[in-house]
Structure 1
């Protein structure tokens, strides 16, 4: 129990450090790759999430999705890559190579599609090397470059708004 509290505190400390040192540099590069971070306990419509690439005129092989669940038991996760608190060490570092690989990938766009305030999800969003980060409304506005305030359960509205803002920002290929 003590290690769990220490892990949570370490993750929050690492998150704060990353957010305080984050530099944002806007560029006009077109979006060619997409990463999505989800909370597996909040999202049930898996096929709808996979349509993000189609909405943005990207090929499906340019989309990478990871899901996080707070359940530490081995569960059957329908996502390709599903992670849990066991993938973090006691000092808040990531000890899973697949998760590290996702975070090191320089996505042109990262979508953080989760509503619950989970430290691990916020840490994954902040630690990602994505060039442009988009999410739904969060308490900490430093996590994302663009925040789209829509109802979490209305994925279609989020996709419409996302495409509209990315078009205005000239980030979509013709």
Structure 2
């Protein structure tokens, strides 16, 4: 119990530090790479993101999807990497090599598709080196550059709104 509280405080402190140091880069270049961070316990239709990337003319090789699941026995299929709470150290360091390589990739767009307030998901969103971060409404609005307020099950609405805003921002053709 004490270790869990220590871990939470450590991760919260790290998130706040990283968010205060973040420099937002704005450019009008068309997105060529897409990363997706999804809580598979809340939304498990990962093929929807593959179709979204195809509609946005992003090559399948330039799409990376990672997921989070609270239950290690419930590993989803069709996902690049799935991670769990055990993949983080007490001070919030990532222990999973595949997950770290995802974070080190310089995506043009990162979609944070989750609604639950899970510290490890927020930490991954903040640690990502993506140029432009998009997400659903979360408690900490500092994480994403663009927030689309929807229910996670309404993926069609999310896709429509995302297309509209990314067209306005010249991120897609």
Normalising by the residue count of structure 1, what TM-score does the alignment of the two structures yield?
A: 0.93
Aligned ranges 1:11-90 → 2 under 5 Å: 11-71=11-71, 73-78=72-77, 79-90=79-90
Instruction: Give the C-alpha shift of residue 74 in structure 1.
Output: 4.4
CA–CA separation in structure 2 for the residues paired with 1:135 and 1:55:
18
CA–CA separation in structure 2 for the residues paired with 1:102 and 1:171:
21
Please list the CA deviations of residues 127-148 of structure 1 after superposition, one character each: whole Å capped at 9, or x if unmatched. Answer: 1000000011112111011111
Aligned ranges 1:112-127 → 2 under 5 Å: 112-127=112-127
- State the partner residue of 2:161: 161
- State the partner residue of 1:2: 2
CA–CA separation in structure 2 for the residues paired with 1:158 and 1:34:
16
Q: Which moved more, 1:44-53 or 1:152-161?
A: 44-53
Please list the CA deviations of residues 36-61 of structure 1 after superposition, one character each: whole Å capped at 9, or x if unmatched. Answer: 00001101222212222112111111
Runs (4+) off by over 6 Å: none
SS of residue matched to 1:51: helix
CA–CA separation in structure 2 for the residues paired with 1:61 and 1:122:
25
Q: How many residues are matched?
A: 172
Instruction: Give the C-alpha shift of residue 80 in structure 1.
Output: 2.5
Instruction: Give the C-alpha shift of residue 108 in structure 1.
Output: 0.3
Q: Is the 8 A contact 2:113 2:135 kept in 1?
A: yes
For structure 2, list consecutive stretches of 5 or more residues without a partner in the other structure: none
CA–CA separation in structure 1 for the residues paired with 2:75 and 2:126:
27
Normalising by the residue count of structure 2, what TM-score does the alignment of the two structures yield?
A: 0.94
Q: Is the 8 A contact 2:33 2:58 kept in 1?
A: yes
C-alpha RMSD of the superposition: 1.3
